[in-house]
A and B are shown apart, each in its own frame.
Chain A
Amino acid sequence: MEFFLNFGITPAMLLVAWISGRILERRHLNNLLLLESGSSDVLAVTIEDLPPDWHVESGELVMGNVVISQDYFKRFAASIKGIFGGNIRVFEPLLERARREALIRMKGVAHARGYDAIINVRIETATLASARRNGKGTAGVEILAFGTAITLSGGRRALSGAWSG
């Protein structure tokens, strides 16, 4: 039984994780492209000082967050790669996807409340400890994007002179 648990389940789980992980990743990337084409009317910038020709009417904090986890196959691949060191490339697409998702959610909140732009955007990353296995490993990674959404007196047209978003 012990032998089966160690050498039978692991390859099966790896296969299932690899296939489903790939499907989910592709679906998410397609979804991101679709959403990003729709969220382009809210300009998000990391600067805090506004150009002098922007006349701000009101502002409010907006946030977008996502907790995401790596699939079993990629964790396994990364642990092997970790022996030799170097770039762990399998982790990079996941974090990139999570950041894009968090930004889209933040822009979505700003858009729904009628704001024109988001300034001083910050992105933070935090790992969550697993609830099992004595807290070893990570349950997931949280990405939080936040910024100050503003409305401009000239509306969205006021933006087009300064930048195009």
Chain B
Amino acid sequence: MIISNTQEIPGKTIVEFFGVVSGSTVRAKHIGRDIMASLKNVVGGELKGYTELLTEARGEAMRRMSYQAESMGANAIVNIRFATSSVAQGAAELFAYGTAVTVE
């Protein structure tokens, strides 16, 4: 699965469109990480636990999107976009969507 945020896959041509595919996941870190993050909030700086959490979650959202595209028979996703929202305390929804296509 080739994934790109451009309108075409660079160096290839699109031969078929399948429509919008999307994947999302809602994640929260365990309470220990939240406590560590709130302590880190005093001195500021990077919250590594949350960076990791969001990287994993975004990977999962993209995997789900890829499965959907694969089941349609596509081999690439173009023009992918991300959206992040805080749905609950300490949890975040990661959403990825794009257009499934076949390229040659």
* The one of B2, B85, B90 that contacts A131, using a Cβ cutoff of 8 Å: B90
- The B interface is mostly helix, strand or loop, or mixed, namely mixed
State whether the Cβ of B26 lies closer than 8 Å to any Cβ in chain A: no
Which of A17, A50, A122 has a CB less than 8 Å from the CB of B10? A50
Q: How many chain B residues have a CB neighbour from A under 8 Å?
A: 39
* CB-contact partner of A71 in B43, B80, B85, under 8 A: B43
* Residues on the A chain within 8 Å of B34, using CB: 131-132, 139
Q: Which of B6, B7, B50, B89 contacts A140 (CB 8 A)?
A: B50
- Which of A28, A71, A129 is B42 in contact with, Cβ under 8 Å? A71
Q: Which of A48, A74, A130, A142 contacts B44 (CB 8 A)?
A: A74
- Cross-interface CB contact of B5 among A140, A142, A146, cutoff 8 Å: A146
Q: Are B89 and A131 in contact (CB under 8 A)?
A: yes
**Which of the 9-residue segments B17-25, B51-59, B67-75 touches chain A?**
B51-59
B contact set with A: CB distance below 8 Å: 2-7, 9-11, 28-29, 31, 34, 37-38, 40-48, 50-51, 54-55, 58, 80, 82, 84-86, 88-92
Not counting A28-B45, A63-B58, A128-B90, a sample of 5 additional A-B residue pairs whose C-beta atoms are within 8 angstroms of each other reads A67-B54, A69-B45, A119-B10, A124-B82, A124-B84
Residues of A within 8 A of B (CB): 13, 16-17, 20-21, 24-25, 28, 48, 50, 55-61, 63, 65-72, 74, 94, 101, 119-120, 122, 124, 126-132, 134-135, 139-140, 142, 144, 146-148, 150
Pairs across A and B, CB under 8 Å, 18 listed: A24-B43, A55-B11, A60-B4, A63-B58, A65-B51, A68-B45, A69-B40, A69-B46, A124-B84, A126-B92, A128-B92, A131-B37, A131-B90, A132-B90, A139-B50, A140-B37, A142-B50, A142-B54
For the complex of A and B, list the 8 residue pairs with the smallest distance between their C-beta atoms, beginning with the closest: A131-B90, A71-B44, A126-B84, A129-B86, A59-B10, A56-B10, A67-B50, A131-B34
